[in-house]
Chain A
Amino acid sequence: MTSGTDSRSPGALAGLRVIDFGQGVSAPHCARLFADYGADVIKVEPRTGDAARHSGPYPGDLPDQERSGLFFFHNTNKRGVTCQVEHPEGRRLFLDLVSKADVLIENNLPAQMRAWKLDYATLAAHNPRLVMISITPFGQTGPYSEWNGSDLNAYHLSGASARYCGRPHEMPLEHGTFSADYFGSVTGAAWGLGAVFGRDLVGGGQHVDVSSAEAIAAAFVGGQNIGGLAQDGRSDSRTGVGMPLGAPATILPCKDGHVWMLALEPGQWKGLRKVMGDPEWANLEMFNDMYTRAQNADLIYELMADWLMAHGKMELMEMCQAAGCPVTAVFTIEEAARHPHLQARDYFVDIEHPALGRVHSLGAPFKLPASPGGPHSPAPLLGQHNQEVYGGLLGLSAAEIERLQALGAL
């Protein structure tokens, strides 16, 4: 049981106040990283709630805005308030919150923030020390900044899918999760916390403009490809196999699922041969180096098939790793969730939630021994901390909060 606040150390980011004015995945996850490590994060939602509340997974697939697993995962350790920023009194409250904050994290389309008169220039006038982290598919400037977009659009605009994921001539693929949103999230967290850390040195706050598509196009695709494109016009595309220039290097089926089969360096190939029981075919001269093996990859994969189908993925991983060959099992979600290694490292936490009950969730993304972090309190119910935040932090009376509620400002 990890809820309860008594024995916890304050966390590395204690003393920072963060307003999470995001929905869905990217900005809420970024704000959760600040919350994981001790910042006081206040989530500001419209009356209808963060869009993630209207998405599953729900227990038993029964929609309920207080029981969304998607919302829960990205909003632990936060306090939650409601605020209608399009209402003049709601906007005033939002500006009061921003005045008392170090960081604002949001992922609204730039035109929407301007329509609410909550653009960076306006917010900076209220709080010059504010670091505003905006995480959007395309960013705040440039011809696509007015486009509507989602994780899917950002990912496919980065070049990552056409280059690295899918079979040739078939549709390029996203990774089956919110890959662009998460990339944008960690990018915003890193650059944004950098801006906070150096705030006094550089003379105040600033706007941290993250385009998820651009971050991936640069740091993932660009890093490996852009020099060759610019100099030689070189533009490679996806092949559908793991590593076209070496073999074995792909995902292969085995008795109970799949393994990531990798044996490139001479020692790794030698180890694999041994584990396979030194079959005659593997001793052929033509299979001596990874490049010639790559030219015969289909043949090799066929020759390995019987052996692979006779063994389970965990067994294959253990045997190969012991022989110096970096084969890993392709864990299903369940296998990852139940793996003894992650249990031994206390990666999981149990959190009591008023509507979901006890949730067994993923813990801290990294371990800071001197200032431990990770989720400990449940995601807030919609408007759960209105009294606490508007009363305690902004000093409004109960009657005033009630008046604002009746006006539709909250």
Chain B
Amino acid sequence: MTNTLPLKGIRVINFGWVWAGPVVGQTLGFLGAEVLKIESRARIDMTRNLPPFAEGIPGPDRSLSNHACWAGNGSVTLDLKHAEGLELALRLIAESDVVIENFGPGVMERLGIGYESLRAVKPDIILFSMPAAGLYGPLEHVRTYGLSLTSLTGLDSLVGYKGETPIPVENAYSDPFAGIFGSFAILTALTHRRNSGEGQHIDFSQQEAVMQMVGPAYMDYALNGRSGKPKGNEHPTAAAAPHGVFPCSGDDRWVAIAIGSDAEWAALVAEMGAPAWATEPALATLAGRVQAIDQLHAEIAKWTRSHHDRALTDRLQAVGIAATPVLKVADLLDDPHYRARDTFIEVRHPLGFDETIYGGYVKMSRTPAVVKPGPVMGQDNDHAFLNILGLGEEEYQRLKESRVIY
């Protein structure tokens, strides 16, 4: 069966590095675009050297996390510090539809591949830029790490235990979020180009895109002047109670329970054996339960503590209660649901080892994603320089030997 993917025929040049930029390319790649990541041995991306490595052997083509996060991108090696390298990049861009970058503002211009230079070689090019705080404005040069970018959105001020100060999220949720979101932005621009013939330079401020997630708390500020604070796992707008994570038997085992209706509360009370504290009439309504939420959560925690997380989940789900185990990394590969959905897949890497990465995590009924291993450095050089640009074999060898293609 042939599986023509929706973005077949769209070519993307990806200068994105580390995590967010490569995820933009990955998403378009999973949807069928041909994505060529430009990188160079002259300055290897730090994520290519992150352990753990395949078979425990270090090397820039063996980082397991790099492969998972970059799969879907191809790789073309070009040293842009060489004038010829830059010229080859521009020639590839002339044959492409989209360019992705996640440097700071002005870096593309300094490299000689700013939007005007790209337009000169491809008038309807779409340039997608995703700096931390956008292409202009007082904070345009702000430096952040992925995991601290959320501090500029207000989101970090909401994360933590109830009544305490904020605690950090220990990895960059905003990187894959902005990466996937960014591919939507590119698709809107591709749609506009199809309708109008026009390309454009997308200003995707990660701060502004990620701040969408703060919408509910922002509205409380806009309407009532309040700035939210950490409140554990309680419902963000107090529209469900109880709403929390409760301890179970075993080491670091928990169950997440969200009660969205009075009927679900009644079912939970029955499962708990209708203890006196739970049958208080005041708790029959959401308002009463929100009022008494600390006591409620403390009592439920006493009850869950002796239960197994999965057994309790099954029991509560059987009566229609939204309960789930809180999974640890160690649980992911064996989880029956993720197994059934092929969330994680084993692939054979061109260098000969097997590795586990994530597969097409969205299930497309007509065009399932085809996921290949993360790119080997320069794996698409032959295709890019011989097929797309039509360089002669001698010229190609010369460029490799002079480390322009490197």
Contact = CB atoms under 8 A, between A and B. Distances in A.
Contacts of B23: 219
A61 interface: yes
Interface string B237-261: 1111001111100001010101010
Contact of B167 (A56, A167, A347): A167
A4 interface: no
Interface stretch (B270-278, B354-362, B379-387, B393-401): B354-362
Contact of A202 (B4, B145, B184, B187): B4
Interface in B19-66: 19, 23, 27-28, 30-32, 52, 54-56, 64-65
Given A219-B358, A227-B356, A235 B328 contact: yes
A138 B317 CA distance: 13
A214 interface: yes
A26 to B, nearest CB: 12
Interface SS of B by simple majority: mixed
Interface in A361-383: 361-362, 364-371, 373
A178 B188 contact: no
Interface in A109-144: 120, 138-144
A152 interface: yes
Interface size class of chain A, counting residues whose CB lies under 8 Å from the partner chain? 35 or more
B365 A341 contact: no
B222 A199 contact: no
Given A13-B188, A139-B341, A371-B188, A225 B256 contact: no
Which of B143, B200, B228 has the largest number of chain A CB atoms within 10 A?
A: B143
A176 B160 contact: yes
B366 A220 contact: no
Given A221-B329, A229-B329, A176 B358 contact: no
Contacts of B363: 139-141, 207-209
Nearest to A199: B6
Contacts of B102: none
Contact of B366 (A57, A155, A204, A367): A204
Interface in A132-178: 138-145, 147-178
Given A159-B329, A178-B213, A225 B227 contact: no
A229 B330 contact: yes
Given A72-B219, A164-B169, A336 B365 contact: no
B332 interface: yes
Contacts of B31: 191, 194, 198
Interface residues of B, number: 158
Given A187-B362, A194-B6, A222 B152 contact: no
Contact of A73 (B56, B152, B218): B218
A225 B64 CA distance: 8
Interface stretch (B76-84, B85-93, B131-139): B131-139
B324 A163 contact: no
A301 interface: no
Interface in B177-213: 177, 179-185, 187-192, 194-196, 198-205, 207-209, 211-213
Contacts of B165: 251, 253, 258
A403 to B, nearest CB: 33
B332 to A, nearest CB: 5
B217 interface: yes
B202 A219 contact: no
A94 interface: no
Contacts of A95: none
A182 interface: yes
A253 B167 CA distance: 11
B333 interface: yes
A237 B170 CA distance: 10
Contacts of A42: none
Interface string A374-403: 000000000000000000000000000000
B123 interface: no
A162 B252 contact: yes
B362 A191 contact: yes
B390 interface: no
Given A56-B238, A70-B216, A149-B324, 19 more contacts: A57-B223, A59-B224, A143-B337, A159-B329, A186-B177, A186-B181, A190-B184, A195-B364, A202-B5, A209-B364, A217-B332, A219-B176, A244-B170, A325-B143, A341-B138, A345-B205, A359-B222, A364-B208, A366-B209
